[in-house]
Structure 1
Amino acid sequence: MMDIALYSLVDDMVSKSGTEGVVEYWLRVGESYAERMGKEAYVGWPAFNVAMKEGRTSLTVEGAVNVLTDLAITDKDGDVIGYVYALKTCPVAPTMSRFIKKIGPIHDSDNDVAENYNSRIRDSAVSNYCITHQKFREVAANNITVSKQGLECLHLANKGRLGDVKMVKENLDRINVDERHIKSILRSASCVFALIVKGKSAGDEED
């Protein structure tokens, strides 16, 4: 019952703080939650990917993640600097389904908040809850090292309840992955993101 009430809460928040205020609130929630997860260090990508598969890292707190080892991101020398990952199911999807079944259509405020975020910050949200989840991953990744190198999370794409897809082209270009490949992954996933050594891009020259 409480998760269903959350949708009514968002509608109330918008009426009191406006869509921009709700966006800023969700960003703070994502950041705060990630900071509470603490630091993580892994000796290399194989160890980290095992932790991802087994759900032993903060980046799997949202649910099961597919580790797409066939989508390794490499530098100009062919050294692996990151991987692509896919969240199998949006953690809010069950709540959405229960709300629609018990209450009715999702409030317009959900889309209004998402659109405010898309227009001001990054065009990557298909629901207002995407804001918290994406911020969480970005901050959580900053608290992880692999082979003593810091990571960053690049959001690549996600799929909405009705099948609408958001792609972040600049991030796809940075890891040199075709959007058609990402769309094929979204047939059985909700969100796709990359984890990469901080400051690196596919094919980068070494410093």
Structure 2
Amino acid sequence: MGTEILMIVGDFGEDLEIMVPFQALQAVGHDVDAVCPDREAGESVKTAVHDFRGDQTYLEERGHDFELNATMADVDPADYDALVVPGGRAPEYLRTYDEVIETVQHFFEADKPVASLCHGPQILAAAGVLDGYEMTSYPAVRAECEAAGCSWVDGVVTDGNLVTGQAWPDHPEWIAQFLDLLGTEVSHGEPVAADD
């Protein structure tokens, strides 16, 4: 039986940080409900693509319309086993919603697995749940995380119930560590050629 996972997303969240974990977690058998405050299931959020091209900061371009499959006002965090908080620009405004903060606090109070990436820890910092954790984030968010009481490290890290990464290039390791935390076993058989 798959794990029930809640994902909090918003307008101009990073496209890859929403799409990839949403699909990857489903591909291994988990159920993922993507929600956004003030939006209903079936509505969409606009994503942004952030790229690293040698500038002093990332480049942002318009991404996709990502369809929500659940309504935040209707979900009970207690019904979920784990939480995913992607990055991008969305966390800077999502952290202003009481329901987002209370949802994040539930997962930490219940010691449930949480995966957060890039700017996602801005929400965790606003929720006051980072004290004592060793974690990472997009480097520009480091000061916020440290001010919230964590020990910031460079690279993907799991500490207790929390898995963090710096940005979408960390997906392979970040998702793998989250799957380990969830207790997900993925088996791979030997590849078979199409003509065999």
Shorter-normalised TM range: under 0.3
Alignment TM-score, normalising by the size of structure 1:
0.25
Alignment TM-score, normalising by the size of structure 2:
0.26
More relative contact order in 1 or in 2 (CA 8 Å, sep 6+)?
A: 1
Q: Which has more helix, going by share of residues?
A: 1
Structure number, greater radius of gyration: 1
